[in-house]
């Protein structure tokens, strides 16, 4: 596992909702991957070893942060008030339930765009991401922007999900999406086992400070912050699992 030192700190990303493709994480019968094991092709034992070493919090000088501007980015990655990008037809259909699609500002720079005036994620994710950033929990960065999508179908979300099987659309043009929120993922590599993406809430219980992972206090703080965020989001009419990093109803033993 020496090649996995870079993920000694595993950052749990925002808006996955602690969301994995399985409610409680990979099943014990998950077969070992065929071929070379990489971070996106791990065995269950390798996956569990990495989760034991996960960090969920890092110290941050909250007073120094500009919450209105959001986390600073390198010049080449900054998201301004206006963003021009080209629609990207995904390699596989999106599984999301709210409007979003992939768009490339440059061929090697693809971002996720969330859009729709009635899409609560556009507004709530920006606020939630800034809150967790200020608290020291590492989450994906979200920025408001007016997006001009080139080579874009009339409904980029449908093209990326329900109509994906129809292939790349031919009837495309320039479409302006406002309001929209643009997502910059945290730096790092995803860890995956066959047929499983993301992470599940109960898996936080496997984090082990003796293995180099976060202390129980930090894990409890993350769970508490996630529960508050999820509850407030649901009370406000937004889907808490869509706008917050963690949920309170996924079967954790520590609620």
Q: Which of 185, 188, 227, 196 is nearest to 48 (CA)?
A: 196
Which pTM was predicted?
0.79
- Residue 78: CB partners within 8 Å, gap ≥ 6? none
Q: What is the pLDDT of residues 175-203, one digit of tens each?
A: 999 999 999 998 888 888 887 777 777 78
Domain ranges (residues) in the chain: 2-60+188-243, 62-184
CA-CA distance, 215 to 221, in Å (whole number)? 10
pLDDT in tens, 34-68: 888 888 888 988 988 998 999 889 899 999 999 99
The bridge status of strand 141-152 relative to strand 82-88 is parallel
pLDDT class for 255, splitting at 50, 70, 90?
very low
The span from the CA of 212 to the CA of 7, in Å, is: 11
Rounded to whole angstroms, what are the CA distances from 123 to 163, 165, 169, 232?
Answer: 26, 30, 29, 14
The answer to whether the CB of 113 falls within 8 A of the CB of 206 is: no
**Rounded CA separation 41/32 (Å):** 9
CA distances from 77 to 89, 149, 175, 182 (A): 21, 17, 22, 11
């Amino acid at each position: 596992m020496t090649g996995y030192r870079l993920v000694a700190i595993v950052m749990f990303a925002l808006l996955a909702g602690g969301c994995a493709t399985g409610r409680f994480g990979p099943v014990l019968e998950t077969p070992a991957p065929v071929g070379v094991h990489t971070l996106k092709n791990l065995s269950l034992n390798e996956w569990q070893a990495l989760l034991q070493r996960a960090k969920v919090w890092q110290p941050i000088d909250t007073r120094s942060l500009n919450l209105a501007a959001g986390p600073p980015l390198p010049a080449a990655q900054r998201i301004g008030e206006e963003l021009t990008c080209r629609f990207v037809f995904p390699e596989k259909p999106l599984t999301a339930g709210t409007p979003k699609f992939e768009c490339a500002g440059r061929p090697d720079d693809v971002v996720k765009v969330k859009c729709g005036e009635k899409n609560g994620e556009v507004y709530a994710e920006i606020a939630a991401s800034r809150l967790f950033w200020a608290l020291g929990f590492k989450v994906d960065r979200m920025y408001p922007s007016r997006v001009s999508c080139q080579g874009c179908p009339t409904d980029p979300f449908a093209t990326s999900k329900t109509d994906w099987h129809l292939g790349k659309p031919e009837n495309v043009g320039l479409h302006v999406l406002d309001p929209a929120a643009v997502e910059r993922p945290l730096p790092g590599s995803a860890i995956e086992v066959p047929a499983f993406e993301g992470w599940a809430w109960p898996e936080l219980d496997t984090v082990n400070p003796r293995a180099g992972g976060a202390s129980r206090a930090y894990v409890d703080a993350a769970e508490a912050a996630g529960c508050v965020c999820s509850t407030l989001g649901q009370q406000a009419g937004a889907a808490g699992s869509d706008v917050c990093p963690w949920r309170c109803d996924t079967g954790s033993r520590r609620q």
